[in-house]
A and B are shown apart, each in its own frame.
Chain A
Amino acid sequence: MSRDSRERILSRIRSAVGGAPEAPEVPRAYLSRHAPEDPDAVLDLLHENLADYRAHVHRTDGAGLPALIGRLLEERGARTVVVPDGLPARWPAAWAAEPVPDTGLTATALDAVDAVVTGCALAVAETGTIVLDGGPGQGRRALTLVPDLHVCVVREDQVVASVPEALPRLDPLRALTWISGPSATSDIELDRVEGVHGPRTLEVVLVRGPV
């Protein structure tokens, strides 16, 4: 049945456009980036755009990172933190909160955890976006979805200016999550309010130098 429909749909397409003129190559006269070629300015832009959509942005260096994360968790009252595989072990060592390793926790178990701390694959300055690809220190997608607080660490060498610069650096075969601020909705009177199903608080830590 579906097999017949496959042939039927394909043949309907062929008869619909078979005689149409060839569609030319796509012109790509748009910019590959809008931001200036200045890493400091790009980092500032990321900071500004993340903050504009209500992410809380912090800056530190590698040495100050574990303690800063610990302070953020404490300020938000997080007592348990899920820790994805590959997160540097010295980070949780500096926190008062109890680290919970991801041993295949169920969604319900994750719902009982207060927070998650991850790295990321890259960040896009012009749109204020961080992208997770499930690589080391990021974990599977549910980890950054169910807990209500997400602390995400971005190294400065992970920051790109634009969407056109981001896509070639990402592997489409991995499941990707692009995050631009905490969960939000415009469904009531087309006015934006933050905080629906995803983590209602997003803390982003921008790190200079090696972590």
Chain B
Amino acid sequence: MRVALFVTCVNDAVFPSTGVATVRLLERLGVEVDFPAAQTCCGQPQFNTGYREETRPLVRRTVRAFEGYDHVVVPSGSCAAMVRHHYPAFGPEAAALGPRTYELTEFLVDVLGVTDVGAYFPHKVTYHPSCHGLRMLGLGERPRRLLEAVKGLELVELPGAEECCGFGGTFAVKNPDVSAAMGADKIANAVSTGAGVLCGADNSCLLHVGGMLSRQGAPLRAVHLAEILASTEEEPFA
């Protein structure tokens, strides 16, 4: 099977390791991965901040970049939700990309039909389901099932897991105090689990939460789900 990786702009520029992990994971599962170089950003930051016209060229670019691929895999629930839920507003061609776009855990569980991806990650992990994956895509138990099948991994429940971490795109800078207060509660909950790793499937949220963990010197690091799933006994990743 040949799929296109939509790495997302945040991962490309700031978290390339998540992109690398996604490639390694998919290849290990026998998937042939392409990276169409014409891709940049799905346009969600512009769209959600109220700049629909500024979003339009990015939608056009994204649609063209992934023309001809039946499966486009995105290691971000938020960007996948943008394509699936908001692209239809930009015309039929854009709408057609939605059904071909899969958030990483959807692709693994629904398309490949695997929950045990052969990963090894000997750490205590707690999982934060990011809002757009949780509510707009309805990822449900997929991420947890994948994590539970990882050898050596101890998954502990995050209290208040379904509460927003406070990132929210430009919300984080337009309402910095509320955003930080939400993030602080998320971190306190994560620390209370005793886990060493706070796992998420959206690096934009982890940028915010990880930045706070780092500032507070918390005994916890933020790691993208793809990096845990890419990790094996032979080749530890994250």
Are chains A and B touching directly in their complex (CB below 8 angstroms)? no
Interface residues of A (CB under 8 A from B): none
